[in-house]
Amino acid sequence: MIEAAPRVVPHRQHDYILGDWEVRRAGDRVATARFQLAADGRAILHTWTPATAGGHAGVAILSYCEGEQNWQYFWAGNSGDPVHYRGEQQRPGHIAYRRRTTRNGEEGLSRFGFELLANGHIRELGEASWDGGATWAVEYDLLLTRPGV
């Protein structure tokens, strides 16, 4: 008898990202990130610590909104520019977020996602579009690995 895979409740779809990570860009360590459950497992606290003094630091709350049936990502950092994204699971191990953004008075779109790779690492890819989503340009491409890997 074949058993069905257990259903993951929506607010636990991000569990693959829990724990401590070293963050790398083009092979260089740029930060550490910690993702830990909060609010009785209904939220994830994300702490970002730069590898060098004076770098970009911040915290975020990731939470699944039952009413809207989507993920919410609220970021506050030392730049003083908090942001709010809405996201959804693309497939198991990949949740993507989007928001409207502005640059020099021009409206655009911003998106990023956390994707679990086959080797257990996570890719965080951020992109922006200034033509309504017809084309996208990479803003950052990060690799999260477990410490010591």
Question: Is residue 52 domain-resident?
Answer: yes
- Domain membership flag for residue 2: no
For residue 98, which of 127, 124, 78 has the smallest C-alpha distance? 127
- Give domain status of residue 117, yes or no: yes
* 88 domain-assigned: yes
- Establish if 140 belongs to a structural domain: yes
Q: Is residue 71 part of a domain?
A: yes
Tens digits of pLDDT across the chain (149 residues): 555 445 678 888 889 999 999 999 999 999 999 999 999 999 999 999 999 988 889 999 999 998 998 899 999 999 888 899 999 988 888 888 999 988 888 899 999 999 999 999 999 999 999 999 999 999 999 999 999 87
**What pTM value is reported for the model?**
0.88
Tokens of 81: 């520019």
Q: Tally the domains of the chain.
A: 1
Q: Per the domain annotation, does 139 fall within a domain? A: yes
Domain that holds residue 55: 10-145
CATH of the domain at 14: 2.40.128.20
